[in-house]
Amino acid sequence: GFSSSPSNKLLHKHFPSSASSTLLNLVYRRGWRRSFCRCLFFFLIGLLFGITPFGQMDTDIRPKDFASPDLRPPHVHLQSDDPIFSYVALGVNTQLEQHNEVTDSIEPLKQLIVVTPTYNRGFQFYFLNRLGQVLRLVKPPLVWIVVEEKTVSLETAQILRKTGVMYRHVVSTRNSSDVKDRGVHQRNAALEHIERHKLDGIVFFADDDNVYTLELFESLRTTSRFGTWPVAMLEQSKNKAIVEGPVCNASRVIGWHTNEKSKRLRRFHVDMSGFAFSSTILWDPKRWGRPFSNPIRQLDTVKEGFQETTFIEQVVEDESQMEGIPPGCSKVMNWHLHLDTGNVVYPKGWLLEKNLEVILPIK
């Protein structure tokens, strides 16, 4: 230890114990101060060397001067006459012009207003469901106005809800027992509804027992004022089919197809499902230059077979205001079927409640 060293013994020999401890503390204190001063001196020298510039540093040092690879893409100068620049600019401008042309050329589709009178009978479910399945395939907008007599039946409302077509369920309160065409008052109720609510679109009378193609409804939107087309009619009593409708040169109506001698006195030989017209004729007569503003309705005082022509005479003046659909009028797109379904039992609620106990064994 420190007490057994020769220097310690020498201090105890010449100095008392208290004096020797004081002397030792003084030596240690001076050694600590000396070490601290040396460290501070070398620290200041190192700091001085660190902040003193020893030459001009090249500040324009690029990453390629180091060992690491250059990850930046090379700078390319594109001039206006550069073929690459011209190709890129031409491609972008062409795409923008094409996009603007497509945007400007897109026009909203005209709304179709399909009017269907119906009444409770055995085949009603089949007829309405068949027509509803066709209408649901037509591009919107389309509204189906279904008109019943006297009151709304739950069976008809159930059919309409299940078709998925936007519809309006209308009731005709007028008695149709004294009218040969029982759909006259029902169609008039639909016309009144269109006029009162100012529905804008193409009106088409589609009876529920006829057959329609999807092409017909797509062609209706080409109608400007009044469109007409040929209809194939199946005469059940004569067991033959006849065509009734316009003869066209392109879209211009130049004559009429008819095989019925009793109907040759009609002005326009058109079936009820063989024409369509703009709904604005009903509630905006000034737009079409109509000299009178009387409501356009079907007449219940005319003979059978003249219902169509007396109605059309209120909408147009002559064939010059008609449009043949499709151009040439060479396609039959719907059929008028005369089916006798009066003897078929109408099941209430579409439920069969009788003869359900009969079981036929499987052979």
Of 148, 149, 244, 308, the catalytic one is 308
For residues 277 and 226, the answer to whether their CB atoms sit within 8 Å is: yes
Provide the pairing of β-strand 334-337 with 231-235.
Answer: parallel
For residues 122 and 341, the answer to whether their CB atoms sit within 8 Å is: yes
How many Å apart are CA 185 and CA 171, to the nearest integer?
Answer: 10
Structure tokens at 16: 């008392």
Residue in 283, 305, 302, 309 with CA at minimum distance from that of residue 294: 283
DSSP secondary structure, 85-142, as one string: HHHHHHHHHHHHHHHHHHHHH--PPPPEEEEEE----TTHHHHHHHHHHHHTTSPSPE
Structure tokens at 286: 């000034």
Report the half-sphere exposure of 184 (CA within 13 A, side-chain side): 23
> Residues for the chain: how many in total?
363
How many helices (H) does the chain have, and how many strands (E)? 9, 12
How many Å apart are CA 85 and CA 79, to the nearest integer?
Answer: 7
SS3 label, residue 54: coil
- Listed in order, strand segments (DSSP E) in the chain are 112-117, 142-149, 167-172, 202-205, 211-212, 226-228, 231-235, 240-249, 252-257, 275-278, 323-324, 334-337
With b for 16 or more beta-carbon neighbours within 10 A and e for fewer, the 91-130 pattern comes to eeeeeeeeeeeeeeeeeeebbbbbbbbbbeeeebbebbee
How many Å apart are CA 204 and CA 278, to the nearest integer?
Answer: 9
Question: Would you say 209 is a known binding-site residue?
Answer: yes
Q: Look up 308 and say whether it is catalytic.
A: yes
Report the half-sphere exposure of 356 (CA within 13 A, side-chain side): 4
Asked whether the CA dihedral 322, 326, 328, 332 is positive or negative, the reply is: negative
Which residues are annotated binding-site positions for Mn(2+)? 209
Q: Which residues are catalytic?
A: 308
